[in-house]
């Protein structure tokens, strides 16, 4: 690293280290061009991180760079790390690593999206004077966040639309008001991709969904 880059890394560590480490809901994830790895920060001294790899059957490549995302209760902090060496102790895999770029704060955590396919049921909110009972519309998610989701369906709709959406995730059932946004993508197989923004979701419910999404992202 150049001296300017080293200074930028040091400054970012000074700015964000305590915020990250003091968060009780901290989750850490490494990614490369092929895989994602759930890890735990065992020790963080200056520019050096000692990480524990949760999936003991996997291995990180020494001298390789990985993207690191440190997810706190309210934000995601991202950087790149270089793996220096592997330490095996009592069948636990530890890795000595070093920051290879400055830490930067990404968008709020409730916009962290996870790719996942789960069934959803949509009920379009009827007009005030309508006597027609809305027909449930079925679809499957492409991705989900605590702020909304993207789903695919065979049904043609003309957004924007106010809806109720129901889905099950992490053995919990969620039903909330939402809005289908205007942007729609039509696929070659006559299916449609719709984007949904959750509305008026209870804060505790949103926090629970957010936690489930992060837990899922660490496993898959």
Tens of pLDDT along 125-159?
877 777 778 889 999 999 998 889 999 999 999 99
- DSSP assignment of 113-177: -EE---EEEEEEPPPTT--SPPPPEEEEEEEEETTEEEEEESS---SSEEEEEEEEETTEEEEEE
Cis status of the peptide bond prior to 207, with omega within 30 of 0:
no
pLDDT of residue 109: 53
Q: What percent of the chain has pLDDT over 90?
A: 55
Lowest mean pLDDT among 22-36, 111-125, 171-185: 22-36
Cβ of 70: how many Cβ atoms within 10 Å? 25
Q: CATH 2.40.10.220 in the chain, residues?
A: 114-219
Fold of 3-109: Pnp Oxidase; Chain A (2.30.110)
Q: CATH 2.30.110.10 in the chain, residues?
A: 3-109
Q: How far apart are CA 204 and CA 124, in angstroms?
A: 25
pLDDT tens track for 191-200: 999 999 998 8
pLDDT tens track for 96-112: 999 999 999 876 555 57
In this structure, CATH architecture of domain 114-219 = Beta Barrel (2.40)
């Amino acid at each position: 690293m150049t001296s300017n880059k080293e200074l930028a890394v040091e400054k970012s560590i000074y700015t964000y280290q305590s915020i990250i480490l003091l968060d009780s809901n901290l989750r850490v994830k490494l990614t490369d061009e092929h895989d994602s790895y759930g890890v735990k920060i065992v020790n963080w001294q200056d520019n050096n991180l000692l990480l524990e790899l949760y999936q003991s059957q996997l291995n990180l490549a020494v001298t390789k760079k990985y993207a690191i995302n440190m997810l706190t209760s309210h934000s995601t902090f991202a950087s790149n790390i270089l793996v220096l060496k592997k330490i095996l102790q009592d069948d636990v895999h530890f890795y000595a690593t070093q920051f290879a770029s400055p830490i930067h704060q990404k968008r709020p955590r409730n916009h962290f999206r996870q790719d996942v396919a789960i069934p959803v049921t949509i009920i379009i909110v009827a007009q005030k004077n309508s006597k027609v009972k809305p027909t449930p519309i079925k679809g499957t998610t492409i991705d989900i966040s605590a702020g909304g989701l993207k789903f695919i369906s065979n049904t043609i709709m003309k957004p924007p639309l106010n809806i109720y959406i129901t889905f099950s995730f992490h053995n919990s059932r969620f039903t909330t008001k939402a809005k289908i946004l205007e942007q729609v993508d039509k696929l070659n197989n006559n299916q449609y991709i719709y984007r949904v923004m959750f509305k008026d979701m209870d804060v505790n419910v949103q926090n629970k969904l957010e936690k489930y999404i992060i837990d899922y992202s660490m496993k898959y």
